[in-house]
Amino acid sequence: MGAAQLGFSGGEPLVRQDLAELIAEARHLGYYSNLITSGLGLTAAKVQAFRDAGLDHIQVSFQASDPELNNAVAGSRKAFEQKLAMARAVKEAGYPMVLNFVIHRHNIHQMIDIIDLCDRLDADYVELATCQYYGWAFKNRAGLMPSHAQLITAEAEVDAYRERLAANGSRMKLIFVTPDYYEERPKACMNGWGSLFLTVALDGTALPCHSARLLPIEFPNVRESGLRSIWYDSPGFNHYRGDSWMPEPCRSCDEKGKDFGGCRCQAYLLTGDADNADPVCSKSSHHDRILAARRAADHATTGLEDLTYRNTENSRLFFRG
Amino acid sequence: MDFENANKVPRLRLGFRFQWEPAQNAHVLLYPEGMVRLNESAGAVLSEVDGQRSVADIVATLEKQFPEAGPLMTDVWDFLEDAEQKSWIEFR
Ligand code: SF4
Question: Is the minimum distance from the CB of A287 to ligand 1 under 6 angstroms?
Answer: no
A12 lines ligand 1 (CB under 6 A): no
pLDDT in tens, A56-69: 999 888 764 445 55
User: Does a structural domain hold residue B92?
Assistant: no
pLDDT at residue A317, as a whole number? 37
Going by alpha carbons, the residue nearest to atom 5 of ligand 1 is A255
In the predicted structure, residue B48 carries a pLDDT above the cut 90:
yes
Half-sphere exposure of A111 (CA within 13 A, CB side): 28
Tell me if B14 is assigned to some domain.
yes
From the alpha carbon of A280, which atom of ligand 1 is closest?
7
Domain containing B79 equals 3-87
pLDDT at A318: 37
Q: Is the pLDDT of residue A314 over 50?
A: no
B32, A98: Cβ pair inside 8 Å?
yes
Residue type, A59: Q
Under the banding of pLDDT at 50, 70 and 90, the label for residue A46 is very high
Integer CA distances (angstroms), B63 to B38, B55, B70, B76, in order: 19, 12, 7, 10
Q: How far is the CA of A317 from the centre of ligand 1 (A)?
A: 25
Q: How far apart are CA A52 and CA A44, in angstroms?
A: 12
Domain count, chain B: 1
Chain B residues whose beta carbon lies within 8 Å of the beta carbon of residue A32: 17, 30-31, 35
Confirm or reject: Cβ of A259 under 6 Å from ligand 1.
Answer: yes
pLDDT at A316: 37
Residue type, A298: D
A30 touches B at CB < 8 Å: yes
pLDDT of residue B73 exceeding 80: yes
- pLDDT range class, residue A183, cuts 50, 70, 90: confident
Using the predicted structure, report yes or no on whether residue A260 has a pLDDT greater than 90.
yes
* pLDDT over 60 at A142, yes or no: yes
From the candidates B14, B21, B37, which should be mutated to test the interface with A, based on the most A CB atoms within 10 A? B14
| Strand bridging mode B89-91 / B10-12 | antiparallel
Contact call for residues A57 and B32 (beta carbons, < 8 A): yes
Of the ranges A17-21, A51-55, A75-79, A175-179, which one carries the lowest mean pLDDT score? A75-79
Mean pLDDT in residue range A267-278: 91
Task: Say how far apart CA A98 and CA A118 lie, in whole Å.
Answer: 9
Burial pattern A236-270, b for ≥16 Cβ within 10 A else e, equals bbebbbeeebbeebbeebeebeebbbbbbbbbbbb
Q: What is the CATH number of the domain that holds B48?
A: 3.90.930
**pTM over the 0.80 mark:** no
* pLDDT of A319: 35
Listed residue (A252, A253, A212) closest to A234, CA to CA: A212
C-alpha of residue A264 to centroid of ligand 1, in Å:
12
| Percentage of chain A exceeding pLDDT 70 | 87
Contacts of B12 in chain A (CB under 8 A): none
Whether ligand 1 lies within 6 angstroms of the CB of A249 is answered as yes
Res A240: pLDDT: 94
**Closest chain B residue to A197, measured at CA:** B33
Q: Residue B51: inside a domain, yes or no?
A: yes
pLDDT at A160 over 90: yes
In the DSSP assignment, the letter for residue B69 is G
For A287-299, how does the pLDDT look when each residue is reduced to its tens digit (9 = 90+)?
988 888 888 888 7
Residues of A in contact with B17 (CB under 8 A): 32, 56
**Cα radius of gyration rounded to whole Å, chain A:** 20
Q: Which of A187, A243, A259 to mutate to test the pocket of ligand 1 (most atoms within 8 A of CB)?
A: A259
**What pLDDT, on a 0 to 100 scale, did the predictor assign at position A321?**
30
Please report whether residue B7 resides in a domain: yes
Residue B55 lies in a domain: yes
Percentage, residues of chain A above pLDDT 90: 29
Nearest CA among A278, A198, A219, A280 for reference residue A246: A278
Measured CA to CA, the distance from residue B91 to residue A95 in angstroms comes to: 17
The phi, psi pair for B90, rounded to 5°, reads -140, 160
Task: Write the pLDDT tens digit of every residue in A191-223.
Answer: 899 988 899 988 889 999 988 988 999 999 999
A19: left (phi over 0), alpha (psi -120 to 50) or beta: alpha
Q: What is the mean pLDDT of chain A?
A: 83
A253 lines ligand 1 (CB under 6 A): yes
- Say what the pLDDT of residue A5 is: 85
Phi, psi of A45 (to 5 degrees): -65, -40
Residues in chain A: 321
Q: Output the pLDDT for position A156.
A: 93
Establish whether residue A283 lines the binding site of ligand 1, counting it when its CB lies within 6 angstroms of any ligand atom.
yes
**Is the confidence at residue A285, as pLDDT, over 60?**
yes
| CA pair distance A96, A237, nearest whole angstrom | 34
Is the pLDDT at B1 greater than 60, yes or no?
Answer: no
Nearest to A4 among B14, B15, B28 (CB): B28
* The one-letter amino acid at A57: H
Residue nearest to atom 6 of ligand 1 (CA): A281
Contact B35 A95 (CB under 8 A): no
Rg from Cα positions in chain B: 13
Q: Give domain status of residue B33, yes or no.
A: yes
Amino acid at A271: T
Mutate to test the interface with B, among A33, A57, A127 (most CBs of B within 10 A): A57
> 3-state secondary structure string, chain A?
CCCCEEEECCCCHHHCCCHHHHHHHHHHCCCEEEEEECCCCCCHHHHHHHHHHCCCEEEEEECCCCHHHHHHHHCCCHHHHHHHHHHHHHHHCCCCCEEEEEECCCCHHHHHHHHHHHHHHCCCEEEEEECCCCHHHHHCHHHHCCCHHHHHHHHHHHHHHHHHHHHCCCCCEEEEECCHHHCCCCCCHHHCCCCCCCEECCCCEEECCCCHHHCCCCCCECCCCCHHHHHHHCHHHHCCCCCCCCCCCCCCCCCHHHHCCCCHHHHHHHHCCCCCCCCCCCCCCCHHHHHHHHHHHHHCCCCHHHCCCCCHHHHHHHHCC
**Could you report how far apart the first and last alpha carbons of chain B are, in Å?**
17
